[in-house]
Amino acid sequence: MHPPHLREQAVAWHAVGVPFREICDRLGVPRSTICHWLYGERARRYREGGDSRSKEGSRCPVCIGSPERVATAHYAYLLGMYLGDGHLVTSARVPVLRIYCTDTYVNIIEECERAMRATLAKSVQQVQKKGCVGVQAYSMHWPCLFPQHGPGKKHERNIVLADWQQRIVDAVPEPFLRGLFHSDGCRVVNQVTTGGRRYSYPRYFFSNESEDILKLCAAGLDRVGAEWRRNRTNSLSVARRDSVALLDSFIGPKD
């Protein structure tokens, strides 16, 4: 079974005159499958709106043209986790979304699973790896919900939110930031000695090799009113007491 967006792309290319063989080569899909999509019984039902997996019958809010129906806060959190430690495999028979979490952070693992279920997944698996747990779920529609997926590493390609994703992040920046910091962020306690007295103060760091993802994090911090600065080329920090207290109200230490 192939993702629905491949069939839609094949139909679109065929409609504008792309040769049959070229469609097969571009998509890497067998000739018999392309033929079935373009000329078979399912193609007829799909055009007439009677296919059970047509846009009207889909569970995917993006496919039915209503992305606002996605579970907003859960999706924002899952998007943050995906941009940090997530990976979407589309080469499998059914696409699989995997989020890797340090295995000692039990509450983060559980929150990630809840977000997957609330967003789209019917079932979620936790796969134990060395030092981490892969929280994963299969669905034909993960590529619809995470259009940032693609070959190679995230920092080697552009990461731009779709308009509907940006509206969600703007509406609920807190769970989005929570997902980002739960994946590629941390809360630490700095120790300094001044005038013979020892002081401790907490601060947050977010590190990512993608400049685009760093900018998304910075924009989220701006939206909630937290002051931040770039402490390294691949990292930003939040150190002012009131801003740390603000992040503590909806992020806090990892556990």
* Residue 248 one-letter amino acid: D
- CATH number for the domain harbouring residue 88: 3.10.28.10
Within a domain: 8: yes
Within a domain: 254: no
Tell which of 158, 192, 224 closes a domain.
158
Within a domain: 74: yes
CA 73, 78, 82 angle in degrees (round to 5)?
150
Instruction: Mark whether 50 and 80 lie in a shared domain.
Output: no
Instruction: Mark whether 48 and 73 lie in a shared domain.
Output: no
User: Model confidence over 97-123: pLDDT tens digits?
Assistant: 999 999 999 999 999 999 999 999 889
* pLDDT of amino acid 56: 36
Contacts of residue 25, Cβ cutoff 8 Å, sequence gap at least 6 = none
Within a domain: 255: no
Within a domain: 166: no
* pLDDT of amino acid 140: 85
pLDDT at 82 > cutoff 50: yes
- Bigger pLDDT: 152 vs 102: 102
Q: How far apart are CA 137 and CA 142, in angstroms?
A: 9
Q: How far apart are CA 147 and CA 13, in angstroms?
A: 19
Instruction: Mark whether 72 and 116 lie in a shared domain.
Output: yes
* Number of independent structural domains in the chain: 3
User: Model confidence over 184-195: pLDDT tens digits?
Assistant: 999 999 888 888
Within a domain: 76: yes
User: Model confidence over 192-232: pLDDT tens digits?
Assistant: 888 888 888 899 999 999 999 999 999 999 999 999 999 99
Q: What's the mean per-residue pLDDT of the chain? A: 86
Tell which of 123, 158, 193 closes a domain.
158
77 backbone φψ class: left, alpha, beta (φ>0; ψ -120 to 50): alpha
Within a domain: 102: yes
For residue 41, what are the domain limits? 4-57
* pLDDT of amino acid 10: 79
- Bigger pLDDT: 254 vs 25: 254
Within a domain: 164: no
Instruction: Mark whether 219 and 144 lie in a shared domain.
Output: no
pLDDT > 90: percent of the chain: 58
